Structure 1
Amino acid sequence: MTEKPNDTPAARPSPAGPTPAMGEQTAVSTTGRGVTSPFDSPTETIPLTKDVPRTDEELGLDPLIPTVGESKAADTATIPTYAYASIPPAANQPGDTARLRRRNAENRRGTLDLGLFLLRLIVGGTFIYHGLQKLTGWFHGPGLDGTRDMMDNGGWDHSTLATIMVTVGELGGGTLIVLGLATPLAAGAVLAVILDAWAWKQGMTPGFQYKAGVPTGVELESILAGTAAVLILTGPGRWSFDRNRGWSTRPFIGSFTALVLAIAAAVVTWWLLHGGNPLTGIGPF
């Protein structure tokens, strides 16, 4: 037997040079040569072929648009700072609390609206009653013909016109008072009517004819005239169709003007349609 020759080849030297040390990475190219990476050594630097841009023009930025840092700085400058707290002071100063309490107290009307509603029912219902007597003859009333004859015999000129005016004033004004609708005008209409009725009865006999129970007594007319004036000055209250109107809960100049106009209308009507002095025998008259 012959010995088999040793086929193990001897170690061949690397054509690329010495063998790399442990820890270095190598790569084999297609030609069999080892390739080292520039990132293998942390101390090596990558050569830059172009300068790093540092200005806005090199970066392509618009110099008119503020940067993020400038925007944050501007926003921070507009936020007010406080010495002792981050919470801003209250809008209402302590001096306004008294006015606020007073306003809340004014809104508490209690039984005022109920009382005004009852007053409207009584006053308006009374005028509706007398108006129906004159218009329809109900409740033992004279009707339109009887009212016209009564006005003619009582010294009224243009008795037909006077009958229409007194009937519309009593029935229409009384209905609106009960509803609480156009209250200053409605109460002004019945006030003008009742003032002329007061002057008519008072002027029949010299002297102050206030006592009730006599044909010339003006006690009822005085009460109705006073309550009509009260409704003009106080307003109808919140239990009415005028509840959203200023004259309902806060009457002032307008209501006082309506009162003056109602008195003036009564005086002009009396002077044009009747004449004479209803205050004859009263005091200096």
Structure 2
Amino acid sequence: MTSSKRGDDDARTEIIHDVDYPLDVPNAPGRSGGTAGTAGVAGASGSAGGSTDTATTAFPAAGRTDYSQFAESGGYDMSSPLPFGDQPATIAPASRDEIARRGTTDFGLFVLRLAVGVLLAMRGLQKLFGMFGGPGIDGFTQTLTDSGFDQARIIAIAGGAVELVAGVMLVVGLATPVAAAGLLGLVGLGIAIRLTGADPIPVLSDTTRGLEVSILYAAALVALLFAGPGRWSADRKWAWSHRPRFSGIVWLVVVAVVAGLVWYFLNGTNPLTSTADSAPVTAG
């Protein structure tokens, strides 16, 4: 059998007062110092002051408190969203860079790579081994010598090898920017050789070879340099396969500088200046 003593009640009161209640809770307007649930705790302070604005430890009723007072008293600022709770269900649309390239685009790039790479690789076989009715190393060396090149045989071997290897790389889609840039440099040198020849060079011709083939090769290689090989390539894991960004500009500048230096130091003529020996360019 238990009995209640005054000392026990005092101890319970002290324990309750030791709890760290949020005493900075906003005042509850229109209420006396305490509520029924906290009369034993705050009743004394409410009756002593006799004021309705006395601070209370009672939690205010829902929907009746202006929580903006918390920020002024050092509490939580309710003007910013809580770091938890329901998140918005709206899903933002994916950016254009995150949308996968359509399969037809990749197929088109593959067809372009296949056609240009195979044809230029065959031209490399013509120059190196005389296949497909080509001149071979000796014939190509003589052509370069007649065009005014020094070290013509070294240039013939290097040019044929680059054309063959880079053509195969273009078909496979391996290191495509490098392959396309190398082939573009060779095509540019070929156009310069044609422009410095003695025979008239038509842009379009039905009977003789004009410049349209070289122009189409150059345009296709520039397109691959800036569009990338597509995802149907060995480069599909690299960014330049679908987003070349600045790599096209970089390699275009590199090949222009290299081709210009080769022409300047090993030939020396200006293909853009008309001379008595240079071949005029006609419309057709």
- Distance in 1 of aligned mates of 2:269 and 2:210: 18
Question: Which residue of the other structure, out of 126, 143, 148, is the alignment partner of 1:150?
Answer: 143
Question: Which residue of the other structure, out of 86, 89, 104, is the alignment partner of 2:87?
Answer: 89
| Partner AA of 2:86 in structure 1 | P
- Distance in 2 of aligned mates of 1:101 and 1:162: 48
| Residue matched to 1:113 | 106
Query: Is contact 2:147-2:196 (8 Å) kept?
Result: no
Question: Which residue of the other structure, out of 239, 244, 258, is the alignment partner of 2:232?
Answer: 239
- Distance in 1 of aligned mates of 2:187 and 2:148: 17
SS in 2 for 1:200: helix
The aligned runs of 1:124-163 (5 Å cut-off) are 124-163=117-156
Q: Does 1:251 align with 2:249?
A: no
CA 1:138–1:274: 2 relative to 1, 3 Å: same
SS in 1 for 2:202: coil
The aligned runs of 1:59-208 (5 Å cut-off) are 87-90=85-88, 96-97=92-93, 100=94, 102=96, 106-205=99-198
TM-score (norm 1): 0.63
CA 1:108–1:233: 2 relative to 1, 3 Å: closer
- Distance in 1 of aligned mates of 2:190 and 2:85: 69
- Distance in 2 of aligned mates of 1:141 and 1:117: 27
Count of residue correspondences:
221
- Distance in 1 of aligned mates of 2:255 and 2:216: 16
SS in 2 for 1:111: helix
- Distance in 2 of aligned mates of 1:176 and 1:247: 15
1:212 is displaced (CA, Å) by: 3.5
Query: Is contact 2:195-2:281 (8 Å) kept?
Result: no
1:282 is displaced (CA, Å) by: 6.2
Q: Does 1:261 align with 2:261?
A: no
| Partner AA of 1:264 in structure 2 | V
1:223 is displaced (CA, Å) by: 1.1
- Distance in 2 of aligned mates of 1:108 and 1:217: 36
Identity of aligned residues (%): 35
| Residue matched to 2:218 | 225
1:92 is displaced (CA, Å) by: 5.8
Deviations 1:237-258 (A, max 9, x none): 0000000111110111112211
Query: Is contact 2:127-2:134 (8 Å) kept?
Result: yes
Unaligned segments of structure 2, at least 5 residues:
13-75, 275-279
- Distance in 1 of aligned mates of 2:218 and 2:203: 13
1:129 is displaced (CA, Å) by: 0.3
| Residue matched to 1:276 | 269
Q: Which structure has the larger Rg?
A: 1
Deviations 1:68-108 (A, max 9, x none): xxxxxxxxxx9x9xx9xx95123767xx33xx27456x324
1:201 is displaced (CA, Å) by: 0.8
- Distance in 1 of aligned mates of 2:95 and 2:190: 46
CA 1:140–1:282: 2 relative to 1, 3 Å: closer
CA 1:267–1:91: 2 relative to 1, 3 Å: farther
| Superposition RMSD in Å | 4.0
